[in-house]
Chains A and B, each alone.
Chain A
Amino acid sequence: MATENQHIKELVKRRYEPGFFTDIESDTIAPGLSEDVVRFISEKKNEPGWMTEWRLKAFALWQNMPTPKWAHVHYPEIDFQAISYYSAPKSGAKYESWDEVDPKLIETYDKLGVPLHERARLAGVAVDAVFDSVSVGTTFRKELAEAGVIFCSMSEAIQDHPELVRKYLGSVVPQGDNFYAALNSAVFSDGSFVLIPKGVRCPMELSTYFRINELNTGQFERTLIIAEEDSHVSYLEGCTAPMRDENQLHAAVVELVALDRAQIKYSTVQNWYPGDEHGKGGIYNFVTKRGDCRGERSKISWTQVETGSAVTWKYPSCILRGDHSSGEFYSVALTHNFQQADTGTKMVHLGKNTRSHIISKGISAGRGQNAYRGLVQVNKKADNARNFTQCDSLLIGDRCGAHTFPYIEAKNATAQIEHEASTSKISDDQLFYCLQRGISEEDAVSMIVDGFCKEVFKELPMEFAVEAKKLLEVSLEGAVG
Chain B
Amino acid sequence: MTQNILEIKDLHASVEGKQILKGLTLTVAPGEVAAIMGPNGAGKSTLANVLAGRPGYTVDSGSVSYLGQDLLALEADERACAGVFLAFQYPVEIPGVNNTYFLRAALNAQRRSRDEEELDSMAFLKLVRARLKALHITDDLLHRAVNEGFSGGEKKRNEVFQMAVLEPRLAILDETDSGLDIDALKIVADGVNELRSSERGFVVVTHYQRLLDHIVPDTVHVLMDGRIVKSGTSDLALRLEKEGYAWIQEELAA
- Chain A interface (Cβ < 8 Å from any Cβ of B): 1-3, 427-430, 432-441, 443, 447-448, 450-455
Contacts and interface: CB of A to CB of B under 8 A. Distances in A.
Interface of A is mostly: helix
A438 B109 contact: yes
Contacts of A455: 96
Contacts of B55: 1-3, 428, 432
Nearest to A427: B92
B54 interface: yes
B185 interface: no
A130 to B, nearest CB: 34
Interface stretch (B63-71, B73-81, B118-126, B225-233): B73-81
Of the listed residues A430, A436, A441, A455, the one surrounded by the most CB atoms of chain B closer than 10 A to its CB is A436
Nearest to A449: B96
A48 B95 CA distance: 55
Given A433-B92, A436-B53, 20 more contacts: A2-B55, A433-B91, A434-B102, A435-B53, A435-B76, A436-B76, A436-B86, A437-B80, A437-B102, A437-B103, A437-B106, A438-B80, A438-B106, A443-B105, A447-B97, A447-B105, A451-B96, A451-B145, A452-B96, A454-B96
Given A438-B106, A439-B106, A451 B95 contact: yes
Nearest to A431: B55
Nearest to A4: B55
B50 interface: no
A439 B56 contact: no
B52 interface: yes
Interface of B: 52-56, 75-77, 79-81, 85-86, 88, 90-92, 94-97, 102-103, 105-107, 109-110, 113, 145, 162, 166
B113 A438 contact: yes
A440 B109 contact: yes
Given A435-B76, A437-B80, A439-B109, A2 B56 contact: yes
A433 B56 contact: no
B47 to A, nearest CB: 15
Contacts of A1: 55-56
A51 B145 CA distance: 54
Contacts of B54: 432, 436
A470 to B, nearest CB: 16
17 contacts: A429-B92, A432-B55, A433-B91, A436-B52, A436-B54, A436-B76, A437-B102, A437-B103, A437-B166, A438-B81, A438-B113, A440-B109, A447-B102, A447-B105, A450-B97, A452-B95, A452-B96
A31 B76 CA distance: 56
A439 B105 contact: yes
Contacts of A436: 52-54, 76-77, 79-80, 85-86, 88
Contacts of B113: 438
B162 A430 contact: no
Of the listed residues A437, A438, A450, A452, the one surrounded by the most CB atoms of chain B closer than 10 A to its CB is A438
Contacts of A441: 77
Contact of A433 (B75, B94, B105): B94
B19 to A, nearest CB: 17
Contact of B92 (A430, A438, A443, A451): A430
Contacts of A435: 53, 75-77, 80
Nearest to B80: A438
Contacts of B77: 435-436, 438-441
B96 A3 contact: no
Contacts of B53: 435-436
Contacts of A430: 92, 94
A448 B94 contact: yes
B105 A432 contact: no
A21 B145 CA distance: 43
A437 B162 contact: yes
User: 7 tightest CB-CB pairs across the interface, nearest first?
Assistant: A451-B96, A1-B56, A451-B97, A437-B106, A3-B55, A438-B80, A435-B76
A359 to B, nearest CB: 12
Contacts of A2: 55-56
Nearest to A429: B92
Nearest to B111: A438
Nearest to A433: B92
Contacts of A443: 105, 109
Contacts of B86: 436
Contacts of B109: 437-440, 443
Of the listed residues B85, B86, B106, the one surrounded by the most CB atoms of chain A closer than 10 A to its CB is B106
Nearest to B172: A436
Nearest to B95: A451
B21 to A, nearest CB: 17
Nearest to B79: A436
A202 B7 CA distance: 68
A422 to B, nearest CB: 9
Contacts of B92: 427, 429-430, 433
B91 to A, nearest CB: 7
B170 to A, nearest CB: 12
Nearest to B56: A1
Contacts of A451: 94-97, 145
Nearest to A7: B55
A444 B75 CA distance: 15
